[in-house]
Structure 1
Amino acid sequence: MDDRSFRPSVQRPHSATFPTMGTLLRVAWAGNNHGIAAALHQKVRHLERLMTRFREDSEVSRLGSQWVEVSSDTAAVLGAAKLYEHQTGGHFSVLVGRQMREWEAIAGGDAAKPRPTRGKIEIDGPRCRILDAPERPVDLGGIAKGYAADQLRDLARSMGATDVLVSLGTSSISVAGAPATIGLASPWHGPDRIGSLTLELGALAVSADPGTRIGAQRRRSHVLNPDTGTPALTDLCGVVVTGADGMACEAFSTAYLAMGLSAAMHLDAQHPELNTVFMTVDGRLLASPDLKLRTVSGLQAWFERQR
């Protein structure tokens, strides 16, 4: 999904845009406008200070083997991360902070090979710790964006806003009130867009490898395999997940992309609260029947020409 194809389906007269969490936050709403933009900005800055891995003084950067008291926000996200790691059989994990830093070092010219990490999140009320893990192991990544999108949506609603739409970058969206039409960018090399879907309530998350050339083989993804510390080998190039909770959508879209189509469809069948679009490296698009998905004209014919 990209900014060129992202558009709300109803008029929302008020909006605010500002950078945060390494991306752009966009919020649009109808109804009351008094103080909402300032409150949203203050809230997202607060969440960023708590959960970013790019600040050594953030709560997640201070987590290690010793108990650390954290905010209710950080505890909520870590608790959800622990649950989703279990539900996805470990394909989703936030304990990849070291691998992410090592892959970034490789991109900068350091040839050191990332190593696998398997730690354990423990939570005791407001206290958290990470056992059996290296220094600064946590990267909340997309799941923190999903949490923030839902929190900002609910904050705006509590202040009298209606028809709220929150977008953190192009992968985390949360909606309340009037439905929104979400344009879907193509993960394949070729078409810019594959279509759009209508999000009536709740959240949407995207995990994708843009520019994938259609072929029969599995490809290396940008998503890491926590067991190996290396990019996952997968036959999926894009996943869209919608549901009531932004963190769940983020976690499952990441896990599905990492595990590949067969395992992802099996797991998805166990979670009827989610609706999903799978996009494969061999040029297939499979969507939950409950989704209001419209594809662009000629997409199927384009798939057939690529095979």
Structure 2
Amino acid sequence: MEPRNRTAASEFFLLGLTEDPELQPLFFSLFLCTYLVTVLGNLLIILAVGSDAHLHTPMYFFLSNLSLTDIGLSTTTIPKMLANIQARDQSITYMGCITQVCFVLLFAGLENCLLGAMAYDRYVAICHPLRYTVIMNARLCGLMLLLSLCLSVANALLLSVTVLPLSFCSDLEIPLFFCELAQVLKLACSDTLINNVLIYFAFCVFGGVPLSGIIFSYTQIVSSVLRMASAGGKYKAFSTCGSHLSVVFLFYGTSFGVYVSSAVTDSPRKTAVASVMYSVVPQVANPFIYSLRNENMKGTLRKLMGRMPSLL
């Protein structure tokens, strides 16, 4: 079988969710509103944590960094989509696509690590409450964040740089609204064995390790809570984990759903819709989950919103 034509790629084409020109304004408005809500909602979380001394705890430290990560991931993907719709141009430059791949990997990896760190924080708080302040000190929290950031940066750079030597076929259409590593590799005419091995290794590290840590932490939490004699104590312990568990199920549930959908369907449009579920939905939902389910956060946000008119 003859290989497909090779080319030195200068640009890729992001097909997005639809090619129907009548639907483009609708999608533009929808994603613009989603992006604004994501940025404003997560900024409110960061501002609330920074302004209230009662929230200067490890849990809210990781939460504020999770919000910053959500802003970064949304900013990496949505503005380019909005610009393409506005310009009626589906193209993205070669280096722009590789850069987008790098930042998507960076923020997705960092989100995985932060969710694992937050699960460990809840494990220590519930299973070792008397030693919580000793174990979860500022130094450990800073080291966990720094380690997560370093690993995520190293992983993103490694996987992105290994794409640069590849040559690509003449068909450079990506059936998503952003450049995803797996979709970019599908367009390569070069051998991608090393790239795929690195992807599976990265998946095990950034998917398997944090998820295993989360499962272990909550196994220990459930076991500890069930041994409590007081029903009120059980409720209080579980309530402190409710928001984090909701975010975990949303992030990993949508990611797993995308994996299953891509395995069972060859439809580019369905793949594009599925990608929205893990690259847009968790980021816009996280601020609502923490502000609606967490009493401390609700109280701080009410105070913050009450001071807004005087600040303006």
Give the TM interval when normalised to the shorter protein: under 0.3
Q: With the length of structure 1 as denominator, give the TM-score of the two structures.
A: 0.28
Larger relative strand fraction: 1
Higher relative contact order (CA 8 A, sep 6+): 2
The two structures have a TM-score, normalised by structure 2, of: 0.27
